[in-house]
Structure 1
Amino acid sequence: MPRTLTENFVEQFRLCNVQPNETIGIIAELGQKQGYVDAAVAAARQLGASALVLHASSLSNPMLPPYAPDGREVPALLAAAGECDFVVDVTVGGLIHSDVRTRITGNGKRMLFVAEPNDVLERLMGGPELRAVVESGGRKLKAGSTLRVSSAAGTDLTADISGENLPITHQWGYVDEPGRWDHWPSGFVACFPKDRTAEGRIVLQPGDALIPWQRYVREPVTIEVSKGFITAVVGDGADAHLLRDYFDSWQDPEVWALSHMGWGLLPQARWSAFDVYDPRSLYGQELRSTAGNFMWSTGSNRFADRETPAHLDVPMRGCTVEIDGVAVVRDGTLVEG
């Protein structure tokens, strides 16, 4: 029988090593996702922890400009979160690319973002086995020099991932270590290649995904990349037009940059999610995490000092992902070992 939202939060908080003497800070927006707030508070109490709810008037970014952030609440928010041991983000858009997240985790706090519907949270909940697979993928990236992605449709993209300081995102869906951020649910590994090193071509095919638009690509689109930036979006269909219009609307060259790249590792994640569910009820983690997808993104990259609210994640099917010539994904299927 499916678990309630509170029951799933209890299970997740156990994975996050919540202790009875801890204080959990819950960051939320007024009038939004109250069920998640209530479940997080109830779960904390069941585990003997205390809970502090931090409501802000608005922290979500719009999907189109104009955007002028109002940071007046941030200092108070950070001060309160700094007194907590574990911070749960249930804002609508999430604090993933914000200074708030960076400063909270930079102070050694565990931080978890939660956005998906309850049955998705339960079905895709991670554990130690998933963590081991994600960490293995991270080690492969860390040891590599060149990431190459190709496909039968014509994708052929390379990026420089050399160096000991390569930023890698390991997402297995829970946080049990100081200073760690994750997104429940998750199951993928990604890196931020050296800025301005991506070169080549990406060819989107029908059925690939556009997040946070929460829909599938309908017609082929060719995206030309030079020195880490998109230089052309080619295609006669609606998707090519909409992508060009979206990038142009920000009037900001930073939105055309490529950001992180990686692949999905969660076997129970299904590509059909955007058709099975109301796509606007989803944050897109199922598509990001589907085993064997190649996912790349645009815009924000805090490691390159590039901050912009314009950010697309694009999971793709049927790609081959190689590190120094050794495939970790072949034609959309994970390579064992």
Structure 2
Amino acid sequence: MPRTLTENFVEQFRLCKVTEDETVGIIAELGQKDEYVEAAVAAARQLGASVLVLHASSLSNPMLPPYVGDGREVPALLAAAGECDIVIDVTVGGLIHSDVRTRITGNGKRMLFVAEPNDVLERLMSGKLLRANVEAGGRVLKAGSTLHVTSAAGTDLTADISGEDLPITHQWGYVDEPGRWDHWPSGFVACFPRDRTAEGQIVLQPGDALIPWQRYVRDQVTVKVEKGFITEISGGGDAHLLNDYFESWKDDEVWALSHMGWGLLPAARWSAFDVYDPRTLYGQELRSTAGNFMWSTGSNRFADRETPAHLDVPMRGCTVEIDGVAVVRDGKLVEG
């Protein structure tokens, strides 16, 4: 029998090692996702933890310009969140690419973003095995010098991932150590290649995904990349829409490539956008599907590039190689 949202939060908080001597902070937007706030509060209380709910009028970035947020609520939000041991982000768009996240985790606090429907949260709840697989992928990236992605459709992209200081994102869906951020549910590893080093082309096929548009690609799109920036998008209707989206921001930074990686969560299904109302989803299931290659555009805090425009693009059927050794072959994880 399916668990309630509160029951799932209790289980998740246990994974996050929430204890009775801790304070849980919940960041939410006024009038949005109230059921998540109530469930998180109830779960924290069941575990004996204290709870602080922080409501702001609006913190989510828009999907199209102009961006009108002035950030005046952020200092007060940070001051209050700084008194908490773990912060739960249930805002609509998430604080993933914001200064709020960076400063909370930079002070050693744990931070968890929650956005998906309850049954998705339950079905994709992870554990130690997934964490081990994500960490193993991170070690491969850390030891590598060149990421090379190809596909039968014509994708041929390389990027420099050399150096001990390579920024790597490990997402296994819970936060159980100081300074950690994650997104429940999750199951992928990604890196931020050296800025302006990505070269080649990406060929999207029908059935690949566009997030946060929350839909599948409908026709073939060819994306040319030079020195880490998209220089040309060609094809049919989806190419026109992508060009229109990027041009609407009137900002060169939105054309940049950001993080790249692959999915590792076997329970995640590619069909999610058709099974559910896609606007109820944040898209995390598509990002985490085992064997997908995901690349993104726009924001990259490691390159001091901040922009509200950000797309994640999970793709099927790709081969991902690190220094010539495949970790994903034709959309399937390579064992060992």
- Does the pair score TM above 0.5? yes
Q: Which amino acid aligns with 2:84?
A: C
TM-score of the two chains, using structure 1 as the length reference: 0.99
Tell me, in whole angstroms, the C-alpha distance in 2 between the residues paired with 1:68 and 1:57.
Answer: 13
What is the identity percentage for the equivalent residue pairs of Structure 1 and Structure 2?
88
Alignment: residue pair count: 336
TM-score of the two chains, using structure 2 as the length reference: 1.00
Partner of 1:35: 35
Partner of 2:202: 202
Partner of 2:62: 62
CA drift of 1:69 comes to 2.1
| Aligned pairs (5 A) from 1:80-95 | 80-95=80-95
Tell me, in whole angstroms, the C-alpha distance in 1 between the residues paired with 2:331 and 2:156.
Answer: 14
Give the ranges of 4+ consecutive aligned residues of structure 1 lying more than 4 Å apart after TM superposition: none
Gaps of 5+ in 1: none
Partner of 1:76: 76
| Aligned pairs (5 A) from 1:1-337 | 1-235=1-235, 237-337=236-336
Q: Which amino acid aligns with 1:190?
A: A
Q: Which amino acid aligns with 2:43?
A: A
Gaps of 5+ in 2: none
Mean CA deviation greater in 256-265 or 70-79: 70-79
Q: Which amino acid aligns with 2:311?
A: L
2:20 counterpart SS class? coil
Tell me, in whole angstroms, the C-alpha distance in 2 between the residues paired with 1:65 and 1:32.
Answer: 21
Tell me, in whole angstroms, the C-alpha distance in 2 between the residues paired with 1:192 and 1:62.
Answer: 23
Q: Which amino acid aligns with 1:297?
A: S
- CA RMSD in angstroms comes to 0.4
1:40 counterpart SS class? helix
Tell me, in whole angstroms, the C-alpha distance in 2 between the residues paired with 1:43 and 1:145.
Answer: 44
Q: Which amino acid aligns with 1:65?
A: P
Q: Which amino acid aligns with 1:12?
A: Q
1:101 counterpart SS class? helix
Spell out, residue by residue over 1:13-34, the C-alpha distance to the aligned partner (whole angstroms, 9 max, x if none): 0000001000000000000000
Spell out, residue by residue over 1:267-314, the C-alpha distance to the aligned partner (whole angstroms, 9 max, x if none): 000000000000000000000000000000000000000000000000
CA drift of 1:68 comes to 2.7
Tell me, in whole angstroms, the C-alpha distance in 2 between the residues paired with 1:274 and 1:319.
Answer: 20
Tell me, in whole angstroms, the C-alpha distance in 2 between the residues paired with 1:109 and 1:181.
Answer: 9
CA drift of 1:70 comes to 1.7
Spell out, residue by residue over 1:34-80, the C-alpha distance to the aligned partner (whole angstroms, 9 max, x if none): 00000000000000001000000100111000113221111110000
Tell me, in whole angstroms, the C-alpha distance in 2 between the residues paired with 1:77 and 1:229.
Answer: 34
Q: Which amino acid aligns with 2:239?
A: A
